[in-house]
Amino acid sequence: MDVNYFVVTLHPQTIRWSVSQAVRHRSAKPSRAVRLRYRPQNASDFPVRFFCFLTLLFPYFFVSLSYMREITIYTDGAASGNPGPGGYGVVLMSGPHRKELSGAYRLTTNNRMELLAVIMGLEALKHDGNKVTIYSDSKYVVDAVQKGWLASWVKIGFKNKKNPDLWRRYIAVSSKHHVSFVWVKGHASVPENERCDQLAVTAYKSGVFDIDSGYEELEKRIGQEGALFE
């Protein structure tokens, strides 16, 4: 019985050179010379060719991992009166880079500001495909995502659920990245969480407000419907 053996040798130096060239030219394609080294001479049957194909994917996979930026986002939201004047605070960090965001609304809720802080942090990212870790002290936000509540709300069209406008906005922006959540206890001396709380409170105490149209329009509609039954 004739058996054809072949060996595909992956030379570390060759791979390193190929990847560095790809990164330098912003291309995931290894050089033609490297591709030829991965190709055996007598690969005629499908399993052998498929294995060869997998070896060709290695530089692509390696380069894609090197392009994935790791970003940490801390968020917090607050509202005085709940509902009442409210604000959000965000701290974004990646390597030496740091950015702080904040904003305030004349009438909103604490949960809406917690969720909006997450959205604003994600929307501030200039590039897609990032590995993003979000630290939040909001059980409402973290549990909704991690425990699958959000997925079930989507299936029922957010019927009888609060803040569908913001949740749809979160789904749209989070789908562009690899997002994970970490719950942190509020007011527990976590420096960046405390900073976010300071940003949120300072924002709504400044007296400079935007309008949370999603919340105010809902409240107005509920008020009009209630008046029909007086």
> Of 40, 114, 109, whose CA–CA distance to 80 is shortest?
109
- Catalytic residue, candidates 86, 87, 89, 114: 114
- Catalytic residue, candidates 77, 86, 89, 103: 77
- Catalytic residue, candidates 86, 89, 137, 212: 137
114 catalytic per annotation:
yes
212 catalytic per annotation:
no
- Catalytic residue, candidates 95, 187, 225, 230: 187
197 catalytic per annotation:
yes
Would you state the structure tokens that stand for residue 36, as one six-digit string? 């030829």
77 catalytic per annotation:
yes
Q: What is the signed CA dihedral for 103, 107, 113, 117, rounded to 10 degrees? A: -30
Task: State how far the Cα of 20 lies from the Cα of 39, in Å rounded to an integer.
Answer: 21
- Catalytic residue, candidates 87, 121, 197, 212: 197
128 catalytic per annotation:
no
Cα 125 to Cα 29, 81, 151, 207: the distances in Å are 26, 31, 24, 28
Burial class (CB in 10 A: 0-12, 13-18, 19+), 112: buried
121 catalytic per annotation:
no
Which residues belong to the active site?
76-77, 114, 137, 187, 197
